[in-house]
Structure 1
Amino acid sequence: MKIPKGLCKKLACILGGMGMSNDTCSITVKRNLNARILGKKYETEHEITIQSLGRDGKSLNTAEITVLQKEVQRFVDAARKQKLKVTAIHNHWLFDDPRLMYIHLESVSEPVKFAKKLRKALDVLK
């Protein structure tokens, strides 16, 4: 089932980002890490997707969270405390400064509950 535009807007508000809704809800949350790749400024963000909303009110929720290398363990601990599944930790770039890492999360749950849990985990990055 499609994610209603109003629900996507609510999720984006909870997460502090901007949402777009077609069949899925794609939310981007900007994060200013003053990063550079090959000496050029690089904009960083978290990418969250809510999709496949079922009749039971649960959806597939995925996120790719951008963190500094030194923030990995703190964020993973916070995500696990919220019962979010951490499914990957990796880098994308070879010549980034500071070193950026990407943490993938997955869940099947009610979208608003997921957004609130993710928001709590993201709060450790402030």
Structure 2
Amino acid sequence: MDTALGRRGTVDGGLFKYTLARAETISDNGHVLPPTFGVTTVINFQPTEDGIAAINGDFALTATEVNKVIEALRIGGIEVVELHNHMLADDPHLFYLHYCAVNDAVTLAKALRPALDTTNLAPAK
């Protein structure tokens, strides 16, 4: 999955997860919001059985990224669940797109990659 996503995930309880910061600084009313404040893209893999995983999470997106990510997810067979925003005065203004799917974990990671590639993520460490 790490290879398919080009990032390193971590084990968190029963999940294998990725928390991906955006490249630009996010602020709200002039205050910088660090990635730990939830202005990130999150991918959660939960194993089920026989190598199958359930994924869910959310993308933190600018307005110009929303439709590109929706299209990439749909092509990859990943269901878009919800699109909303959290703040009113964030800069840049972010939208949060929630998704889910069940399939082989590597297949899901490969399906997520084109959506990630359309966003302005900070470089992988």
TM-score tier by shorter-chain length is: 0.7 to 0.9
Q: Label 1:77 to 1:30 Cα distance change in 2 as closer, same or farther (>3 A).
A: same
Structure 2 residue corresponding to 1:78, chosen from 72, 80, 94: 72
1:45 to 2:37 alignment: no
**Secondary structure at the counterpart of residue 93 of structure 1:** coil
Residues 65 and 102 of structure 1 are in contact (CA less than 8 Å); yes or no, is this contact kept in structure 2? yes
TM-score, normalization: structure 2?
A: 0.81
Cα distance between partner residues in 1 of 2:22 and 2:3: 15
Pick closer, same or farther for the CA change 1:18–1:47 going to 2, 3 Å. same
User: Percent of aligned positions with the same letter in both sequences?
Assistant: 28
- The answer on 1:20 being equivalent to 2:14 is no
Structure 2 gaps, min length 5:
121-125
Match of 2:123 in 1: none
Whose relative contact order is higher, 1 or 2, with alpha carbons under 8 Å and at least 6 apart? 2
Deviation at 1:30, TM superposition (A): 1.9
Cα offset, 1:31, TM superposition: 1.6
1:101 to 89, 95, 104: 95
Aligned partner of 2:46: which letter? Q
Specify which structure has the higher proportion of helix. Answer: 1
* Alpha carbons 2:68, 2:115 under 8 Å: kept: no
1:32-56 residue CA offsets vs partner (Å, 9 max, x unmatched)? 23211121112332111111421x2
Give the unaligned 5+ runs of structure 1.
1-10
Q: TM-score, normalised by structure 1?
A: 0.81
- What is the count of residue pairs matched by the alignment? 115
